[in-house]
Amino acid sequence: MSLFERSQAVAAFLQEKTKIQPQIGIILGSGLGELVDTVKIDAEIPYADIPDFPQSTVEGHAGHLLFGTLAGKQVVMMAGRFHYYEGYSMEQVTFPIRVFQQLGTETLILSNACGGMNPKYKVGDLMVIDDHINLFPEHPLRGANDDRLGIRFPDMSEPYDKKLIGLALDIAKEQGLLLHTGTYAGLSGPTFETPAEYKWLARMGADVVGMSTVPETIVARHAQMRVFAMSVITDLGGIDGHVEPITHEEVLEAANAAAPKLAALVTAMVERI
């Protein structure tokens, strides 16, 4: 079966489990599960029960798909995503986006934990992603193009929707929340960056770095969804060549601490989308 047919079959399977027709898809990053508590859940489906869905292997990523309403809107939410470093192919990493596409999802909201290079950033700050640099070793759209999914050469002049970025900045102002705007460099991991890599990333124009989000954004743009993405800065790598040692536990801890801010912002956004 083609990717189109497989994603269509999974969407049909899910539609039998819920009446929710999600206009909005939400993917929560490491330690950012707080938002789940705000959703009025209609159906909660473990990845293990979904045909063709990979299983999440990382601690801190719960691994189920939620259908429900958030701020009155019908949403589908991934609590836990698939990362390239786990060994999945790019097609597996982005398969949920194809399923969302078949479900009729028009807007995709992504979140992640990341390392910050911009000297103005502090641990626990939030950043809206307004652009990215794709440093993954494999492109999610490589291979024969299926025109039913999208065009061969997608435009990337506005990967992240400017109107949604504007809305986020307005809401942040209302909530008295410090919200940076910047560029996310996406690379495969699973190692965190060396001091020289941090310096290189900062010089090439990235404000933060992480191991997700870029593949999902590319596939969502191919699917003509609007994309909005937010990063929580969980650790810092300076352009001065100094990098504090970091563990996954510390990343999760910093993400957990910032999760309520992110949940409040995303909920207010969904309300107004």
- Contacts with ligand HPA by CB under 6 A lie at 113-115, 189, 192-193, 209-211, 234-235, 251
Closest residue to ligand HPA, based on beta-carbon distance: 115
Q: Are the CB atoms for 221 and 154 separated by under 8 Å? A: yes
Q: Of 44 and 253, which CB lies nearer to ligand HPA in the complex structure? A: 253
The residue written with tokens 């049909």 in the block is 12
Q: Of 151 and 204, which CB lies nearer to ligand HPA in the complex structure? A: 204
Backbone φ and ψ for 132, nearest 5 degrees, come out as: -140, 165
| Rounded Cα distance, 2 and 102, in Å | 14
Tell me how far, at minimum, the Cβ of 248 lies from ligand HPA, in Å.
Answer: 8
Tell me how far, at minimum, the Cβ of 191 lies from ligand HPA, in Å.
Answer: 9
The residue written with tokens 């083609």 in the block is 2
Q: Are the CB atoms for 84 and 138 separated by under 8 Å? A: yes
Q: Of 76 and 187, which CB lies nearer to ligand HPA in the complex structure? A: 187
Map residue 126 onto helix, strand or coil: strand
First to last CA, the chain: 35
Tell me how far, at minimum, the Cβ of 166 lies from ligand HPA, in Å.
Answer: 26
Q: Of 168 and 209, which CB lies nearer to ligand HPA in the complex structure? A: 209
Query: Regarding beta strands 226-236 and 126-134, do their DSSP bridges make them parallel or antiparallel, or are they unpaired?
Result: antiparallel
Neighbours of 183 (CB within 10 A): 19
Q: Of 10 and 113, which CB lies nearer to ligand HPA in the complex structure? A: 113
The residue written with tokens 């969407």 in the block is 11
Q: Of 103 and 185, which CB lies nearer to ligand HPA in the complex structure? A: 185
Tell me how far, at minimum, the Cβ of 112 lies from ligand HPA, in Å.
Answer: 7
Distances (CA, A) of 195 to 116, 199, 204, 234, 236: 12, 6, 14, 16, 11
Amino acid at 54: P
Tell me how far, at minimum, the Cβ of 210 lies from ligand HPA, in Å.
Answer: 4
